[in-house]
Amino acid sequence: MTIMVTGAAGFIGFHVATKLLDQGERVIAVDNVNDYYDVRLKEARLAKLAASPNFRHLRLDVADRAAMEGLAADAITGIVHLAAQAGVRYSLVNPHAYGTANVMGQIAMIELARRCKNLRHFVYASSSSVYGGNTKHPFSVGDPVERPVSLYAATKRSCELIAESYSHLYRTPMTGLRFFTVYGPWGRPDMAAYIFTDAIFADRPITLFNRGDLKRDFTFVDDIVAGVLAALVRPPKDDGTASPHRLYNLGNNRTEPLRRFVDVLERAIGRKARIELAPMQPGDVYETSADITESIADLGFKPRTSIDEGLPKFVAWYRDYHGLQSRP
């Protein structure tokens, strides 16, 4: 198969592209390699992918309508659309980036999908952020999601609604995946595992919002990739009534207190963190937890990695990537 992976220079996109290449598939990557975080990390990911003869990178912006309309589409059999402007807090600083990358990018990519004569499935990234401040736990895909507490969440919910309308009109099989706090090797520098690890090694304090009283469904990247690829080969059936569009949670199904996350990270690093406590941040939520009943039943999704296993793997990668000794 020939799979287009958008955001392949990003964290999850890199891991998805790597696994597809390992399986012998051809991968066309679309990524503009923006500077939201250190471009050197993105280029390092791309360099690893480029070692495969089945990999091709197009340095394009998914929200560039003309560029997407100019792409040859006939060879593409699947699309995994992961490119997006990420980050809840950054959406308070640069809101226009989210409307462009997330909303316009979704429309441009689905329009591209419509031109793919051999396309079997369009899979795209959503987020647990769409659940907003819901207090019912765990979060289920059938729960109301009409009260986002951040612009990022609002754009991700918009992506789901856009997919639903296109799938209804044109019968294109689509699946949206709501990711829950993904971490692991090659992770993003704006997320907790990287921020905390970087600070601990540099003996800088880490900030725990809501005075450390937060809970997250931390999900290891290998489990996420397994879920993405399981979804890719299982396009929704079109029964002629409901649209062939489905939504699934991909989470670890093990909600962890933030304080325990820090404890496990400290043990993996071999140092204690200096902690500063702060109030809850605008746009943040107290707890995330995934009901993965439908993901298990329909996709065979089985997350296997606890933070006790996953965080040491992240720390080992961090040491290697930054050229640090095995123990401080």
Residues with Cβ < 8 Å from 201, sequence gap 6 or more?
269, 271, 318, 322, 324, 328
Output the DSSP codes for 217-272: --EEHHHHHHHHHHHHT-PPP--SSS-SEEEEEE--S--EEHHHHHHHHHHHHTSP
Plot region of 143 (φ>0 → left; ψ -120 to 50 → alpha; else → beta): beta
Residues with Cβ < 8 Å from 242, sequence gap 6 or more?
none
Compute and round to an integer the Cα radius of gyration of the chain: 19
Instruction: Pick the catalytic residue from 37, 98, 124, 152.
Output: 152
Q: CA 43, CA 176: separation in Å to the nearest integer?
A: 27
Q: Does the active-site annotation cover 90?
A: no
Residues with Cβ < 8 Å from 163, sequence gap 6 or more?
106, 110, 122, 124, 174, 176, 245
For 270, which DSSP code?
T
Asked if 288 and 139 touch (Cβ cutoff 8 Å), the reply is yes
Residues with Cβ < 8 Å from 252, sequence gap 6 or more?
180, 217, 218, 219, 220, 223, 290, 303, 305, 306
Q: CA 112, CA 64: separation in Å to the nearest integer?
A: 11
Task: Give catalytic residues, as residue numbers.
Answer: 152
